[in-house]
Amino acid sequence: MEKAKQNIIDYRMFWRWHFYAGLVCIPFVIILSITGPIYLFKPQIEAAIDAKYDHLLFDGTPQSAETMVKAAVAAVPGSRFKAIEVRPDIHDAARVIVLKSHDKIRVYVHPKSLKMLKQVPESARFMEIVKDIHGELFAGRFGQVIVELAASWAIVMILTGLYLWWPRNAKSEAKGVAGLLYPRLNMGKRIFWRDIHAVIGIYISALALFLLLTGLPWTYVWGNAFKSVRALANPAPVTQAWSQGRADEKRALKAEGTAPADLGRLDALLDTARALNLPAPVTLSVPAKGASLWKLASDTGNRPQRVTLMIDPAMLEVISSEDFADKKPLDRAVGYGIAAHEGQLFGPLNQALGVLTALGLMALCVSAVVMWWQRRPTDRLGAPQRLPDEKLAPGLALIIIALGIFLPVLGISLIVVGLLEWLILRRIPAVRDWLGLKADRAWDL
């Protein structure tokens, strides 16, 4: 009898955690589930946006790369040359990247007439805007922390959902897999939406957890903690191959600096770069401050295929190279995860799985709201209320502590909410009853 009572208490606790986790993260999960699938198709979308600047028709030979770069710099007063994209076709518009006040600006130059076809800050490109919404909600560091908080609670939502879905009594066993692996369609609206929620959840839970966990290296709090762990694991300084927001990207760009470059060898350098046939997109960057070697880098979304080469402009020889195999095991693991997260690790199937997961997450959010709406009480929020003698089981307490340590933003939010509940919310009967908190009449105001 005591065990059955504890099972009921545990179930209600997990249900309450699931409810509040959804309350915190559903709006943000919907935003991430819209922007994420768009970013999965970054190569295709950017190619479509820039298609009108490719394969331009003109008579004669193109101008020299040096001339095109000088025209691009002149078109952006106060700028300096940073890099040029290596295009496979010399009839494509030159994509020249210039720096102005530590901001990158992409200038599209007609290879024959030197006409400025387009000029756009890198941060204002469509996919960069999508990335900004997805990772920062247009709110900088604050937005990053909010996204990290939502992702952390989404992990809680999925884990508690799996616990609630798991069959645990004879009645569940008697009905078989109906409502567990496929929805029951003829038992009324409430059962239908409950089954849709549960069945979709079980099928996408592993993929959703994978996307949430592989997104953590980009976050601010978790990402910085991981950076510290990474530094301990790699005593020798190793450049991190992913950024933690636009502020970090600007800081790195400012620290890197550029040296005055001799553009007379630029055409020869571009010919050498094309012959190496690196995975697109490929950029050729001017030497860093105090250096003489040009950097040729593949920025392909499939990170295991990325390679960075340092080229001597006089000899047109590769002096050094760094590819994925040269990275530390921890960085390789993160690289695989990020490539899969962005839909670029194993082609169209990777993108399809990402879209499927995002659609599943949106369906979970919609079905959760519908279920709440169908069952909502008139005088309360509708969270599962605490039982009079309800106590936190030791095992659940350990799980909460472990999650709070692994996901620091989650842990901090739990402390803040716990203090808010203890100091304020429980002391106001109307608020306490509406939220379904544990009653303590000594605190009634």
Cβ neighbours of residue 182 closer than 8 Å, sequence gap 6 or more = 195, 199
- Over its length of 445 residues, how does the chain's per-residue pLDDT go in tens digits? 566 666 777 777 888 889 989 988 999 999 999 999 999 999 999 999 999 999 999 999 999 999 999 999 999 999 999 999 999 999 999 999 999 988 999 999 999 999 999 999 999 999 999 999 999 999 999 999 999 999 999 999 999 999 888 876 655 554 667 777 888 888 888 899 999 999 999 999 999 999 999 999 999 999 999 988 888 877 666 677 777 777 677 676 666 667 688 899 999 999 999 999 999 999 999 998 888 999 999 999 999 999 999 999 999 999 999 999 998 888 999 999 999 999 999 999 999 999 999 999 999 999 999 999 988 888 888 877 776 667 777 777 888 899 999 999 999 999 998 898 888 888 888 888 888 776 554 434 3
Determine the distance from the C-alpha atom of residue 133 to the mean position of all C-alpha atoms in its chain, rounded to a whole number.
10
DSSP states along 222-282? HHHHHHHHHHHH--S----SS-SSHHHHHHHHHHH------GGGHHHHHHHHHHHTPSSSE
In the chain, where the domains are located: 2-42+132-223+348-375, 59-112+247-326, 394-443
Distance CA 153, CA 20 (A): 9
Longest dimension (CA), the chain: 90
Which residues face 96 on adjacent strands?
Answer: 84, 107
115-135 confidence digits (pLDDT tens): 999 999 999 999 999 999 999
What integer pLDDT is reported at residue 281 of this predicted model? 96
Query: What pLDDT score does 441 carry?
Result: 47
Q: Are 351 and 22 in contact (CB under 8 A)?
A: no
The pLDDT value recorded for residue 444 is 41
pTM equals: 0.89
Three-state secondary-structure class, residue 216: helix
The answer to whether the beta carbons of residues 106 and 93 sit under 8 Å apart is no
- Number of helices (H), then strands (E), belonging to the chain: the values are 15, 8
Which is it for the CA torsion 277, 282, 283, 289, positive or negative?
A: negative
In the prediction, which pLDDT does 16 show? 85
pLDDT of residue 187: 84
In order of 2, 64, 247, 398, 403, the CA distances from 144 in angstroms are: 45, 43, 11, 28, 19
Strands of the sheet containing 103-109, edge to edge, are 116-121, 103-109, 94-100, 80-85, 282-285, 294-298, 307-312, 317-323
Contact (CB, 8 A) for 18 and 164: yes
